[in-house]
Chains A and B, each alone.
Chain A
Amino acid sequence: MTQDTRPTVKLSRRTLLRGSAAVAGVAAGSGAVTGFPAVWSAEPKVLRYLGTAVNQSADIAKKVKEDTGITIEYVAVTTDDVTKRVITQPNSYDIVDTEYFALKKLVPAGNLKAMSGKKIKEYDNITPVITKCELADGTKIGDQGTAPKKVMFVEGEHSTKFAPSMTEWATLIPTTYNADTLGIRPDLIKRPISSWAELLNPEFKGKAALLNIPSIGIMDAAMVVEATGQHKYADKGNMTKAEIDLTMKVLTEAKRSGQFRAFWKDFNESVNLMASGETVIQSMWSPAVTAVKSKGIPCVFQPLKEGYRSWASGFAVSKGVTGMKEDVAYEFVNWFLSGWAGAYLNRQGYYSAVLPTAKAAMEPYEWAFWMEGKPAEKDIHAPDGTLLEKAGNTRDGGSFDQRMGKVACWNAIMDENDYMVRKWNEFIAA
């Protein structure tokens, strides 16, 4: 019981802190050479940034420092712990990077402060995928689950009530989002995969994996249940108790017959499972697929006919952040939406919240590959220089509109969350 309970997180936190400290050190060093008494030299611009390690890149921290002088101190924890921290230790961070589905817990708890759209330069250019759940051309996309538009706006700075449509006050200013699907190993499966039903196909017995976050795992299972025609949900992201029972029954049967090799919780776990051939089909995140590919192992983020399970994340400010600190927070968010970071995220296979600024910061051939689904004119590299795709290849799933247009549901917290968690424990014990 005295063991280190979140080792990987701790490791990465340390590494990250060390990384950002180094970045800060370098920047401070160079700053000392160039000029002395800037206004903020007495009170350095520092933001404590709470979030998951996946989103906390040292490159971004370095670039922010260069462009704005803001020092980002990353606090890296797991998805669940972000929520826990926001609710239990609101003074331990200044700005939080979290997912929209957590807002159903975070906003009523009252520890966040809504951000004013008037102080966000690109507020009106935020993609309608997030603000209205539709594509730029007005096509509606799936809004089952906690679609961002349902929880993005509140009526006032300190309001804890969600507003039905766009207001000046945003709970989260979006940074990045994506459409998730199953990752597969085409070299080991050796046939086309086109449906979520394949996740529980006995053909892949002992070679499938699920995400071990109950609220997300159950939605993947719901995609399978619908794909096999066993049930049609009114809202996969907000099931009734009977629907939870049904979905868990399907999962339990699969588990008993040995369908699952493992459930993963950590990004790296999912990469290792796939790369080592322990699994050939599993729920996955886009950068994890990229990571498997960069090891030279074939891996496809397989588009499926039933559509994607989508998610979005963004920034919020702790209620304790005021005065100059608050200005710094807004400066940082504005910087984030101004293009460089968006381009950085797009190059990882995510999507950025403000597309025009990101486009301006990307090479046309990159934009064509990542966003328009066109064959790569040149080799496509990740921000760290790793070769991702050779010239001529196209992105899995195609263009932005093709991928985001096929979103079936969004990561969610159900009204029956408590019941679902109990059923999940029952499922694990089965």
Chain B
Amino acid sequence: MSDIARPTDAGHIPAAGHIPAAGLASAAGAAPAATALAATDAATMPRAARPRGRHGWAPPAWLQAMPMGLVFALFFVLPLALVVVVSFWDYNDYEILPSFTLRSYTETFEGCYDQLPGLCTIFKTYVTTAELCFAVWAITLVIGFTISYFLAFHVRSLTMQIVLALLCTIPFWTSNVIRMISWIPLLGRNGLVNQALTQAGVVDAPLEWLLYSRFSVILAFVHLFTFFMVIPIFNSMVRIDKRLIEAAYDAGATGWQTLWNVVVPLCKPGIVIGSIFVVTIVMGDFVTVGVMGGQQIASAGKIIETRLNALQFPPAAANAVILLAATLLIITALTKVVDIRKEL
């Protein structure tokens, strides 16, 4: 957070025109050049952008970060700490007993050792969740990248780009759940898709796997969350200097080579940010998995929901902690692939 006040960063943010150049330099692997560019930016940037108040004095960085820090402490760190604490408490049918126990964790991992090589409940659940997560991530990435590519490189006018990008947000005008539930009459046993298929003679009997299956869960996720991939990738892509593409073309690269060696590396930050959005949402979801999976597909979020509904807060908290750890692992791995801070 204190980075906000650093002069180099402050120079980058308003001076949009410089960013492609910096991106180009780092993508080419010329880190010193990037630093040099950034330094020039800082030197030439307008006075107003320097970290100085109207009267020539700027409060220290930690003080500037304080309001956000307080909000974070109050609404994020504190509740999270409570969740961790409660996960180590005991409970009965109707109350939480504040005495230390590992019960919630041991019971969550019950049988994980005894049942080997079979998987225990929690491992099975996480395998299912991870599989769903991977499938949704891969599909939203391909679709999101394609849409962004079209928007960034095939749509010439800025107005048209904005209009089309806004079009992508139309589904967001209705609630998540309504978008999800609208699939049900479409995919059901006697739904529109099955009616069309049987009438066209493509299938003899209605396809059962269209609804209340992994297919429908993944479909709903992709429908709901592709946009979270589109925006960050599009954002990275429009910043690519078009001259780079020309240069690649002039150097004799094929379309695929240009895509793979120039466009994709320069979109990495967008891809990683989009991936973080999609992965965290899918990992914690229980509504979509529940409704589209007919409540028969296990997910990490659903375990928590079932526990909460049974008024068993400590095991729900323990499962939340486990889920948080799993998600953080994935995000750490993603950020290892790309240093988002450096690339932004």
B124 CB-CB contact with A under 8 Å: yes
B235 CB-CB contact with A under 8 Å: no
B26 CB-CB contact with A under 8 Å: no
Contact between A109 and B208 (Cβ–Cβ < 8 Å)? no
Residues of chain A at interface, number, CB under 8 A:
42
A87 to B286 CA separation, bound complex (whole angstroms): 24
A429 to B178 CA separation, bound complex (whole angstroms): 26
Q: Which residues of chain A come closer than 8 Å to B311, judged between CB atoms?
A: 80, 83-84, 87, 105
A25 to B175 CA separation, bound complex (whole angstroms): 29
A153 CB-CB contact with B under 8 Å: no
Contact between B208 and A206 (Cβ–Cβ < 8 Å)? yes
- Given A105-B311, A214-B306, also A429-B124 (CB < 8 A): yes
Contact between B307 and A3 (Cβ–Cβ < 8 Å)? no
B132 CB-CB contact with A under 8 Å: no
Nearest B residue to A279, CB-CB: B189
B176 CB-CB contact with A under 8 Å: yes
B102 CB-CB contact with A under 8 Å: no
B211 CB-CB contact with A under 8 Å: yes
- Given A106-B94, A417-B93, also A426-B176 (CB < 8 A): no
A106 to B125 CA separation, bound complex (whole angstroms): 31
Q: How large is the interface on B (under 10, 10 to 19, 20 to 34, 35 or more residues)?
A: 35 or more
- A78 CB to nearest B CB, Å: 8
Q: Which residues of chain A come closer than 8 Å to B125, judged between CB atoms?
A: 425, 429
A403 to B205 CA separation, bound complex (whole angstroms): 39
Nearest B residue to A211, CB-CB: B295
Contact between B306 and A262 (Cβ–Cβ < 8 Å)? no
Task: Annotate B281-323 by CB proximity to A: 1 below 8 A, 0 otherwise.
Answer: 1001111001000111110011100111111100000000000
B190 CB-CB contact with A under 8 Å: yes
Contact between B294 and A261 (Cβ–Cβ < 8 Å)? yes
Contact between A4 and B185 (Cβ–Cβ < 8 Å)? no
Contact between B296 and A109 (Cβ–Cβ < 8 Å)? no
- B102 CB to nearest A CB, Å: 15
Contact between A422 and B107 (Cβ–Cβ < 8 Å)? yes
Contact between A87 and B94 (Cβ–Cβ < 8 Å)? yes
Nearest B residue to A276, CB-CB: B188
**Max chain B C-beta neighbours (<10 A), residue from A104, A212, A213, A418:** A418
Q: Which residues of chain A come closer than 8 Å to B178, judged between CB atoms?
A: 7
Contact between B280 and A1 (Cβ–Cβ < 8 Å)? yes
Tell me the B170-205 residues at the A interface (CB within 8 Å).
Answer: 175-178, 184-185, 188-191
Nearest B residue to A8, CB-CB: B177
Q: Which residues of chain A come closer than 8 Å to B107, judged between CB atoms?
A: 422
B339 CB-CB contact with A under 8 Å: no
A5 to B285 CA separation, bound complex (whole angstroms): 9
Contact between B296 and A425 (Cβ–Cβ < 8 Å)? no
- A234 CB to nearest B CB, Å: 21
- Extra contacts besides A3-B281, A105-B94 (10): CB < 8 Å: A3-B176, A3-B287, A7-B175, A214-B310, A276-B185, A418-B312, A424-B306, A425-B125, A428-B298, A428-B306
Binding site for A on B (CB under 8 A): 93-95, 107, 110, 121, 124-125, 128, 175-178, 184-185, 188-191, 208, 211-212, 280-281, 284-287, 290, 294-298, 301-303, 306-312
Q: 5 pairs across A/B with beta carbons < 8 Å?
A: A213-B309, A278-B211, A425-B121, A425-B306, A429-B124
